[in-house]
A = this chain, B = another copy of it.
């Protein structure tokens, strides 16, 4: 039995089973523990599967589902939200992207009045509706996991909007890749949304520090400001400094 054959068998098994144990594979393939272990080592190296104690699982390619994500670091998100809300004047026009951070901001903006808000997030729209004089929903295909619109139709609309302040959230923020996202579509839409604004905020709570998504989001540094809930790691601080990107850390009030 040649190595590539064994690799194929292991991956085939993972197609059916979500997890496989080394024990079961030695049985099935008829080679020793150590051989299987090395196969798994190799396949994990080449990102074909994820190694776990006693075996392997399919690689987790998906982001954490929305329902769970809103829970993560709620306090930090709320703090960031308050900081940004304080910087948005009454009656301003604002662009809000989708995500749990932005929803926190929508809650924080509830006290404002006369806002003119644009968003692609259905929940943001529901939350912020009472505070709005004018509220515009970006249309397009709805990602039912996120409950927000994406796609070319959405993108086309965003290009036609212009606002005082745009706020987008980061999928990941690292010294290596700076701002990144986990979907191509989301990245493009966010980039465009950010461009709509005169003043442009990017939200990133500390859970995002060091996270690298698959898609880089590059937006001009001019008029741009990151908002964090904690001081960024030194590495990230330097990277931002080099790029001449300013940031603020939301106070713990």
A interface residues, Cβ below 8 angstroms from B: 2-5, 8, 18-19, 21, 46-48, 52-55, 57, 59-62, 64-72, 122-123, 125-126, 129-130, 132, 134-142, 144, 147, 149, 153-154, 157
Contacts and interface: CB of A to CB of B under 8 A. Distances in A.
A47 B72 CA distance: 7
Given A4-B52, A59-B71, A153-B157, A122 B137 contact: yes
Contacts of A69: 47
B66 A126 contact: yes
B149 A137 contact: yes
Copy count, this protein chain:
2
A92 to B, nearest CB: 17
B122 A126 contact: yes
Contact of A18 (B8, B46, B59, B62): B8
Given A132-B144, A137-B139, A62 B70 contact: yes
A140 B139 contact: yes
A68 B52 contact: no
A60 B71 contact: yes
Contact of A138 (B5, B8, B122, B139): B139
A2 B47 contact: no
B135 A142 contact: yes
Contacts of A8: 18-19
Contact of A149 (B21, B54, B139): B139
Nearest to A65: B126
Given A125-B122, A135-B144, A68 B59 contact: yes
27 contacts: A2-B57, A3-B52, A4-B18, A5-B18, A47-B68, A47-B69, A47-B72, A48-B68, A59-B67, A61-B67, A61-B70, A62-B70, A64-B123, A64-B126, A125-B142, A126-B147, A130-B144, A132-B144, A134-B141, A135-B144, A136-B140, A136-B142, A137-B140, A137-B149, A138-B139, A139-B154, A153-B157
